[in-house]
Amino acid sequence: MSYAGHVIIRQPKPPFAALTAARGATQEEGLMAIQAIGQAVRTSRDATIFTEGDDALYSYKVVSGTIRLCKLMSDGRRQIAEFLQAGDFFGFEWRETYSLTAEALEDAELVRFPRARLDRLGEERCDVQRQLMTLLSRDLCAAQNHLLLLGRQTAKERVASFLLSLVTRNKAKSGDTLDIPMCRQDIADYLGLTIETVCRAISELKRARLIAVPNRMQIVVVNVPALREIVGGDA
C-alpha cells in the first residue's frame, strides 16, 4: 500500500554491471553477493518509498535520483536525516520496522533487497554481514556529524557545511558548479532551519562572493577554502 509508485522492472536477476560501475571500485565479495539478490524498481517524484513504522521488508540502493530520509512529528515538523544519491544504500537498520521515512526528491531508480533473503545470506556468509556493518557504520558516523551541526552550529555555518558536503561528494573544486536536486525547504529541514534563514544565508554567501547562484538548482562554489573557514571550528 505504501509501495504505490514502485514498479518492478526486472524480477529475479537483472544485470548489475551498470550498478557496480556506478559505485566505482568496490570489488568486495560480500557486496557482490548482496547485489545478486537485488530487484530493480522505479519511484516517481515525491513518492514515498517506505514510511517510519512500516514493516522493514526491503533494504535499498540508489541507482539514480535523490532520496531523502526523514522523521516527522504529528504537528508537521520535519527533520531530514540524510540525502542519498547514486551508489548510496539505505534502509539497512537492522530492525523490524523502518526507523524513518524514505521519499524520492525526483524520479529515481533503485535496487531493493528483500530483508528475508538478506537475512539468510547474512547467516551463511560473514563477509555479507561485514559489508552490512560497514554500511551501518557510515550512516552512524554521518548522523553523529549531523548531531554536532544541529546542536552547535549557527545558521551560516550549517549552510556552509551543507555546501561543503556537496563539494566533497561531487569531488568539486573552487569554480565548479554543484547541482542541487533538493528544494530550499528540504535544505532547511535537513539543517534544522527555516526556508527563509537558508535563503538569507545563501544570499549572504553570494554577496561575499563565496558562491554564485545561476539558478535555483545550481550553485557555483567560487571559494571553497573560504567556505571551510566559515565552518572552521569543527574538529
Partner DNA sequence: CGTTGCTTTGATGCCCGTCAATGATTGTGG
Partner DNA sequence: CCACAATCATTGACGGGCATCAAAGCAACG
Q: Per rule CB under 7 A, is residue 126 in the interface with DNA?
A: no
Q: Which is nearer to DNA, 118 or 202 (CB)?
A: 202
Q: Exactly one of 78, 184, 220, 228 binds DNA (CB under 7 A); which one?
A: 184
Q: Which stretch binds a second copy (CB under 8 A): 17-25, 93-101, 110-118, 173-181?
A: 93-101
Strand 101-104 relative to strand 7-8: parallel, antiparallel, unpaired?
A: unpaired
Q: Per rule CB under 8 A, is residue 116 in the interface with a second copy?
A: no
Q: Per rule CB under 8 A, is residue 156 in the interface with a second copy?
A: no
Instruction: Classify residue 130 by its DSSP letter.
Output: H
Q: What is the largest CA-CA distance in the chain?
A: 57
Closest CA to 58 of 67, 47, 68, 50: 50
Q: How far, in Å, CA of 83 to CA of 68, rounded?
A: 5
Closest CA to 34 of 137, 109, 125: 125
Q: Three-state DSSP class for 12? A: coil
* Binding characters for DNA, 131-170, by CB under 7 A (x = yes): -----------------------xxx--------------
The residues that touch DNA, with contacts defined as CB under 7 A, are: 154-156, 183-185, 192-200, 202-203, 213, 215-216
Residues near a second copy (CB under 8 A): 52-53, 71-75, 77-79, 81, 93-95, 99-100, 122-126, 129-130, 132-134, 136-137, 139-141, 143-148, 150-153, 189, 191-192, 232-235
